[in-house]
Amino acid sequence: MEVCRESKHHHQHHHQHHPMDYTFDGTEPRKTLPGQEERLDSGLDSLKEDELANELEGLCVGPQEPLAEDNDPWRAAVTEDGDTFLHLAIIHEAAEQAQQMIKLSWNHPFLNAQNHQRQTALHLAVITEQPQLVEKLLKAGCDPRLADHSGNTALHIACKRGSLACFSVLTQNCLRQLPHILSFPNYGGHNCLHLASINSYLSLVESLIQLGADINAQEQCSGRTALHLAVDLQNPTLVCRLLALGADVNSLTYGGFTPYHLTYGRHNEEIRRRLHERTAQELRQLPQSESDESDLEGMDLYDEELYDDIKFGK
């Protein structure tokens, strides 16, 4: 039976709001749907009975004499969920122990070990909001391109969660790998810009575009761009900012819909007006007929029916 793991810090502050908990317009971000949150393999309760977790408390990896690369038992030990001692130290926010292991594992494959959910120590450091460990892991040789079981790199997770500090550390310390990461879609078809847009993190959207993210990149399920997603969210501030940053109003989804088409059946007149005046006249009509307006009403961003028109190799 899988148990959802929550970091000690996250559990204690679950009902407290931090600056990153809010979108640019002061409202709470779109709630994560059940099953979509980042998961950690074992709950704190289950870890209480985990032998490795109990050993972690007394683990001593201090800087005595150099340890043999292949004979360190603390590197080889893993839980039934595939977690190493480093994973556990990060989950429990045992920062000192984690830092010692990182220091002793410079450029060692141990740093990139993935548990059964394919999470590296770097993924867990972002999930548990420990930017100092994120920086130490990157400088020690942790690969930021590795994806978890949902196809998310550590930067994808930072964009999804609105983790400003972790985002900053990641982007500053992996400039060489950044072009690949920015264009990399997770298994839901979303890249980092799509995730930041879906969750209405305006500062992250702006930063990603400044760092070279393609503002008109299409998510791979239905071909929506960040601008399409902003219309889906009915977020006029995000729509206006994307337009100012150069988003293409005439971009078509795989089904042939412009962002303006997605305003049909929606109630925000500001978004509808702004897109109408910028959309090419020949693209203002719906692909089939005006009678399809009712089909667009109430479309949900996470409705599986949106992705029935998926095309491969586009």
* Chain segment 88-146, per-residue pLDDT in tens: 999 999 999 999 999 999 999 999 999 999 999 999 999 999 999 999 999 999 999 99
CATH 1.25.40.20 spans which residues of the chain? 78-196, 215-297
Whole-angstrom distance, CA of residue 147 vs CA of residue 186: 8
Model pTM score = 0.75
- The mean pLDDT of 247-255, rounded to a whole number, is 96
Whole-angstrom distance, CA of residue 269 vs CA of residue 281: 18
- The mean pLDDT of 50-55, rounded to a whole number, is 58
**Phi-psi group of 200: left, alpha or beta (phi > 0 → left; psi -120 to 50 → alpha; rest → beta):** left
How far apart, in Å, are the Cα atoms of 124 and each of 158, 175, 270?
11, 21, 40
Which of 161, 105, 175, 108 has its CA nearest to residue 131? Answer: 161
Q: Among 63-77, 137-151, 293-307, where is mean pLDDT lowest? A: 293-307
pLDDT score of 30 more than 80: no
The predicted pLDDT at position 284 comes to 87
Q: Among 70-84, 105-119, 178-192, where is mean pLDDT lowest? A: 70-84
The pair phi, psi for residue 158, each rounded to 5°, is -60, -40
Which CATH superfamily groups domain 78-196?
Ankyrin repeat-containing domain (1.25.40.20)
Whole-angstrom distance, CA of residue 160 vs CA of residue 291: 36
pLDDT score of 20 more than 70: no
CA atoms within 13 A on the CB side of 35: 1
Better-predicted residue by pLDDT, 19 or 122: 122
pLDDT score of 17 more than 60: no
Q: Which two tokens stand for residue 129?
A: 């909001």
With respect to CATH, is domain 215-297 assigned 1.10.3720.10? Answer: no
Mean pLDDT computed over every residue of the chain: 80
Whole-angstrom distance, CA of residue 22 vs CA of residue 63: 42
- The mean pLDDT of 160-166, rounded to a whole number, is 97
